[in-house]
Amino acid sequence: MAVSSDYIVDMQKVSFSRGERLIFDNVDIRIPRGKVTGIMGPSGCGKTTLLRLIGAQLRPDSGSIMVNDQDIPKLGRSELFEARQQMGMLFQSGALFTDLSVFENVAFSLRVHTDLPEEMVRDIVLLKLQAVGLRGAYQLMPDELSGGMQRRVALARAIALDPQLLMYDEPFVGQDPISMGVLVRLIRLLNDALGLTSIVVSHDLAETAGIADYLYVVGDGMVLGQGKPEDLMNSDNPRIRQFMQGEPDGPVPFHYPANGYVDDLLGKESR
Amino acid sequence: MRMRTLELTVGVFILAGLLALAVLAVRVSGLSTNTTGDVYKVYAHFDNVSGLTTRARVTMAGVTIGQVTDIQFDKNRYTGRVEMAIFSDVDTLPADSAASIVTAGLLGEKYIGISVGGDDMMLAEGDEIYDTQSALVLEELIGRFLLNTVSSDD
Amino acid sequence: MKASMTDRIALLGRSGLDVVGTLGRSGIFLFQALAGRSQFGNAFGLLVRQLYAVGVLSMVIIVVSGLFIGMVLALQGYNILSGYGSEQAVGQMVALTLLRELGPVVTALLFAGRAGSALTAEIGLMKATEQLSSLEMIGVDPLKYVIAPRLWAGFISMPLLAMIFCVVGIWGGAMVAVDWLGVYSGSYWSNMQNSVQFGEDVLNGLIKSVAFAFVVTWIAVFQGYDCDPTSEGISRATTRTVVYASLAVLSLDFILTALMF
């Protein structure tokens, strides 16, 4: 107990493959409690998969994933739904329930998991909406909101039950600079004010490095590097350097693996 | 408020469905005739009941006054024994009334037609109609017709 | 080219495994959705909402189709039967055709097109926009919250719709035969009442439509839940729903008819 209590998530020797493709190969990742941890990597390296593994929407081929000292993949269906009440997840698209109003979206988990009187539900919902600055929009339907506002409502919904762990899946994708700034500030603010642990999965370098206390860089199914953002910036590892500096070519090649260029142009079948 | 109109229309929908089932039961399959109203049972023996089915109509003057409830073979008399349920309010059938099996149209369904007798006694529960006329069998009719033509030629 | 024969056999094997796998998944899916009690206080509200979407919204197409099919049956039946001088049997013919066959079957086909495709698309969209994952992360089982009410709504709605279809059709037939073609209304109805058996015809038709409801709703909901969460995947799943459901209904109809009548 004492060993892992500093870490809310402790993944050890986790392997996961989708079909033939190995996405994680013996990965160890530990998420410190009470901090904002960024998980970065190029597109398609399985960052979202990582969150789904933690949320047990996917099961690893091998390895253990401890969340709050519970081995998540080994839990039964009902225990799992219990455990997930401690987690909040902000999906890439917001994933608001389109047939419910903003208010009902935020109230949803309260209604399902608690027997609070209507007055209290109302107070809590307005409190959460106030935190994301959208209290005035509580009567609207999700499709009346902009993408950035939808994400903020989704954030309010994710914190409705005061989870210990909040996971953000690509929160900055497709946001204009203003809503991006709002989100960055909110993530930091909520983390500190509510005593949460946050995991931010993103490939947006500047924003993520700006708010994260600790960074993991993943790629090719492995953890390429970890540490404080400023340490990683100055890393010697060429792969990390390429990613952090945004160089087009390097250990991660610009070109998709192909036959010789000249051979191709001359029409030689090299198979 | 919106939820309420939703519930209301769904309620109407379910009601309409059940009502449809009721209509099918009562109006289309005529389930009601043997369940509603009091009836009394009357029996009749026919030499030939071919084509008559249970739930066939029993009519008088073209009006339905009951239905056939059972058809069995009487092994002592070698006849078909038909049980009819007559509506209780039709309690003025003379005891010597005649029952015949008739056909509606050329290919139509068979039913029982009752013609009035002149007795002072009325038919009651469990009575039997003695004067009966059997179903017309087309083949027999044609056969008899051919026989007659042949014999008249002689 | 050399390996083409073994390739083909392997392909056959792979698609066979695919089919078995899909069947297995859909069975587990159905069991998990329906087994156990709902954990929601407002389960009734969820069901009502779906009954509205699945049942009430299908009413128009069912009523209109039923009316026209009944009218056409009466017209055709009259033309054929009047050749034998027994046009009074038209009521019996309309009623038996509708109750035994057309009522349940056509309702199921229309239902697959109207409500089934909508169910698939809706659930597929919920999957694509991560609403289903979102429910899971909130600690709500989407099988119980999203799928189960839709399944029940389908199971309940379709038999009701089939009954409505039959009644409207018989009424439409009466309109054509009695009011237009001049069949005596007494013989239209009494002929019908004498030949239609409640147990044999009405109940068997009802049983058929319950079976169709089960199959069509199951296919529609599973296709939505199992689809590729992309716009292309959703559109393919919707098409599959209509095709599979129609084929399943027609083949099941043959089997049930052979068993029943």
Distance (Å, rounded) from C-alpha C42 to C-alpha C255?
Answer: 39
| DSSP structure string for B19-76 | HHHHHIIIIIS-GGGGTSS-EEEEEEEES--TT--TT-EEEETTEEEEEEEEEEEETT
For C133, nearest residue in chain A (alpha carbons): A57
Asked whether residue A239 is assigned to any structural domain, the reply reads no
Dihedral of CA atoms C251, C252, C253, C254 in degrees, nearest 10, equals 60
Q: Report whether A83 contacts A146 (CB < 8 A).
A: no
The tally of CA atoms less than 13 A away on the side-chain side of residue B99 is: 31
Average pLDDT estimate for A136-143: 85
The predicted complex's ipTM stands at 0.81
Q: Is the pLDDT reported for residue A270 higher than 60?
A: no
Task: Tell me the pLDDT tens digit for each residue of A159-198.
Answer: 888 888 888 888 887 777 887 888 888 888 888 888 888 8
With CA atoms as reference, report the closest residue to C109 among C223, C203, C232, C208: C208
Do C192 and B16 count as a contact with CB atoms less than 8 A apart? no
pLDDT above 80 (res A1): no
* pLDDT at B35 (0 to 100): 46
**What pairs with residue C75 in β-bridges?**
none
| Average pLDDT value for residue range A200-218 | 83
A82 in a structural domain: yes
Domain membership of residue A57 (yes or no) is yes
CB pairs under 8 A between A and C: 55
Number of domains in chain B: 2
Residue C162 — very low, low, confident or very high, per pLDDT cuts 50/70/90?
A: very high
- For residue C29, the distance in angstroms to the closest alpha carbon of chain B comes to 27
Residues of C numbered 148-207 whose beta carbons fall under 8 angstroms of chain B's beta carbons: which are they? 156-157, 159-161, 163-164, 166-167, 170, 187, 189-198, 201-202, 206
B77 and B132 in a common domain: yes
Same domain, B51 and B110: yes
Q: Please, how many CA atoms are within 13 Å of residue C45, restricted to the half-sphere of its CB?
A: 7
Kindly report the pTM of this predicted structure.
Answer: 0.78
Same domain, B55 and B43: yes
Q: Does B20 touch chain C (CB under 8 A)?
A: yes
User: What pLDDT does residue C241 have?
Assistant: 95
For the stretch C42-61, pLDDT in tens is 778 888 989 999 999 999 99
pLDDT tens-place string over residues A56-103:
888 888 888 888 888 888 888 778 877 888 888 888 877 888 888 888
Q: Is C200 left (phi over 0), alpha (psi -120 to 50) or beta?
A: alpha
Q: Is residue B86 part of a domain?
A: yes
**β-strand partners of A144:** none
d(CA A83, CA A60): 17
Q: What's residue B153's pLDDT? A: 58
pLDDT tens-digit series, residues C81-99: 888 777 778 888 999 999 9
A87: closest chain C residue by CA: C137
Sign of the dihedral through C-alpha C7, C13, C15, C17: negative
Question: Cβ of A91 and C139 within 8 Å?
Answer: no
> Is it the case that residue A19 has pLDDT exceeding 70?
yes
Flag whether A248 is in a domain: no
Which carries the bigger pLDDT value, residue B5 or residue C213?
A: C213
C-beta atoms of C131 and A84 within 8 A: no
Contact at CB, C140 and A98, closer than 8 angstroms: no
Q: Residues A210-267: pLDDT tens digits?
A: 888 888 888 777 787 788 877 777 777 777 777 777 777 777 677 777 777 877 888 7
Q: Which domain holds residue B15?
A: 1-36
- B19 in a domain, yes or no? yes
- The verdict on residue B149 lying in a domain is no
Q: Is B142 a member of any domain? A: no
B 63-102: CB under 8 A from C: 64
Query: In chain A, how many domains are there?
Result: 1
Q: Is the pLDDT of residue C40 over 70?
A: no
Give me the residues paired with residue A67 across strands: A9, A70
- Judged by CB atoms closer than 8 Å, whether chains meet at A84 and C40 is answered as no
Structure-model confidence comparison of residues B135 and A144, the more confident one:
A144
**What pLDDT score does B31 carry?**
65
- Asked if A84 lies within 8 A of C139 by C-beta distance, the reply is yes
Do C139 and A77 make contact, defined as CB atoms within 8 angstroms? no
Q: Who has greater pLDDT, C214 or A32?
A: C214
Q: How far does Cα B75 stand from its chain's mean position?
A: 23
Hey, is the C-beta of C58 within 8 angstroms of any chain B C-beta? no
**Would you place residue A206 in the very low, low, confident or very high pLDDT band (cuts 50, 70, 90)?**
confident
**B129 and B55 co-located in one domain:** yes
B117 located within any domain: yes
CA distances from A256 to A221, A252, B6, B89, C182 (A): 18, 10, 55, 95, 79
Q: How far is A81 from chain C (nearest CA, A)?
A: 4
Chain C residues in contact with B27 (beta carbon < 8 A): 189, 193
Regarding whether B98 and B75 lie in a shared domain, the answer is yes
Tell me, yes or no, whether B124 and B77 share the same domain: yes
Chains adjacent to C (≥3 CB pairs closer than 8 angstroms): A, B
- Segment (H or E) for A210: helix A205-211
CATH code where residue A92 lies:
3.40.50.300
Task: Please check whether residues B20 and B52 belong to one and the same domain.
Answer: no
Is B18 at the interface with chain C, CB within 8 A? yes
| B99 within some domain | yes
Chain A meets chain C (3+ C-beta pairs below 8 A): yes
Query: Which residues of chain B carry a pLDDT beneath 70?
Result: 1, 31-37, 105-108, 150-154
**B58 and B133 fall within a common domain:** yes
β-sheet bridge partners, residue A197:
A165
CA distances for C129 relative to A95, A96, A240, C140, angstroms: 6, 8, 32, 17
Pairing of strands B110-115, B57-60: parallel
Q: Which of C39, C129, C131, C138 to mutate to test the interface with A (most CBs of A within 10 A)?
A: C138
Do residues B48 and B7 both lie within one domain? no
Q: Is residue A264 part of a domain?
A: no
The whole domain housing A108 covers 4-234
Beta bridge partners of A198: A36, A166
Asked whether residue B82 falls in the same domain as residue B8, the answer is: no
* Sequence-distant (≥ 6) Cβ neighbours of residue B82 within 8 angstroms: B43, B44, B45, B46, B49, B52, B68, B70, B71, B112
Beta bridge partners, A218, equal A223
Inter-chain residue contact B57 with C187, CB threshold 8 Å: no
Judgement on whether residues B106 and B90 belong to the same structural domain of the protein = yes
Is it the case that residue A46 has pLDDT exceeding 80? Answer: no
Neighbours of C15 (CB within 10 A): 10
Is residue A9 included in any domain, yes or no?
yes
A159 neighbors A190 (Cβ within 8 angstroms): yes
To the nearest whole angstrom, how far is the Cα of B56 from the nearest Cα of chain C?
6
The per-residue pLDDT for A2 is: 41
**Spatial separation of the C-alpha atoms in residues C152 and B29, rounded to whole Å:** 29
Within-domain flag for B44: yes
Indicate whether A11 belongs to any domain: yes
Instruction: Give the CA-trace dihedral at C148, C151, C152, C153, to 10 degrees.
Output: 120
pLDDT of residue A131 exceeding 60: yes
